[in-house]
Amino acid sequence: MYFPYLRGKQFDLIAIRELSDNLPKELFCPIIEPVRTNLAPLLKTIKHLNNNNISPVIIVTPQVGDCVGETDYLLDGLAGDDLEYLPCVVIKGGNYQLATETIRKINKPYAVQITDGISAECIDIANNSELNIVDSDFPPGALTRIRNVVLFGDFFQKQKRNADYKLESGFSHLHTTFSNLANAVGFSDYTIVSSEYSESGGPAFVVTIHMSYINKTMFDEMFIRHYSSTDDGTPADPAAKFAEALQKMVADANAINSIFFQSRALDEFRKLHERGHFPGLGHVKKLSIEHHIETVCHYLKSDN
């Protein structure tokens, strides 16, 4: 199963809701890290997922955004409306004492995310949880001692500027190898964003569209194509820059034997191209996230 890890921003949550209407629940379970104290969009998303028979994983000890240190507030806000979700406690850098205190406040099954270091105490906590999201580069001897493992990684090679992206970068092979670990139940990544968090993007001197694909000639490893506009040294006219990047991407998407899975999100990009419409950079990112998740789930479905 694929557990895409998304922050609770507006377009991330919209992407999750839209995807849940079309993807099989056997393949797709989002992990959401709340980053806004206004919980209404998050609660709306959980309800939407529940209506599609999906119970998401919700980080109740967020590490970034406005909800850092607001675990009690989150647990109280999530307590009503009979929401179905799996609360997840983060153990970062081996600080299991804080995680233990939080777990005592949870009166339902829970998940654990272990990142930036692991210890015997972390493993003991993990073996009492329903699901364990762990860094994929942890020592194999540690991974084999944990049950119900979701292998997790930060694979997107983020650049300081959009102008710095080359045409293509490697991403991950976890979708092909996670099942080699007998106790693994799935895998996770940040999709086409990285772990680096910012409230909003800077001025768009260059507009880049990130598009994931499975490279069949490279043993089904995933790569990312980066389609960028020309760097003119100014943030003016993002609509024209988007149109330039989109033209390059659509040309590849429409080619015979295109490398891309023909996702619903890709169809939406085509419609924007046909209309000559710029929906805003947040919407563009949403479509790239959706295409990434659709591509992974299509691979899992085909592989089965």
d(C-alpha 141, C-alpha 133), whole Å: 16
Per-residue buried b or exposed e for 144-159, using 16+ beta carbons within 10 Å of the residue's own CB: ebbbbbbbbbbbbeee
Measured between its terminal Cα atoms, the distance across the chain in Å is 11
Output the tens digit of pLDDT for each of the chain's 304 residues.
999 999 999 999 999 999 999 999 999 999 999 999 999 999 999 999 999 999 999 999 999 999 999 999 999 999 977 899 999 999 998 888 989 999 999 989 999 999 999 999 999 999 999 999 999 999 999 999 999 999 999 999 999 999 999 999 999 999 999 999 999 999 999 999 999 888 776 788 999 999 999 999 999 999 999 999 999 999 999 999 999 999 999 999 999 999 999 999 999 999 999 999 999 999 999 999 999 999 999 999 987 6
For residue 63, the 8-state DSSP code is S
Whole-number pLDDT of residue 197: 87
pLDDT at 189: 98
What does R_g of the chain's alpha carbons equal in angstroms?
Answer: 19
Instruction: Pick left, alpha or beta for residue 252 (phi over 0 → left; psi -120 to 50 → alpha; otherwise beta).
Output: alpha
Q: How many CB atoms neighbour CB 299 within 10 A? A: 18
221-228 sheet: strands from edge to edge: 168-172, 221-228, 208-215
Angle, CA 89 vertex, CA 88 and CA 92 arms, to 5°: 135
- For the question of whether the overall pTM of this predicted structure is more than 0.85, the answer is yes
**What pLDDT does 304 receive?**
62
pLDDT at 94: 84
The confidence score (pLDDT) of residue 282 equals: 94
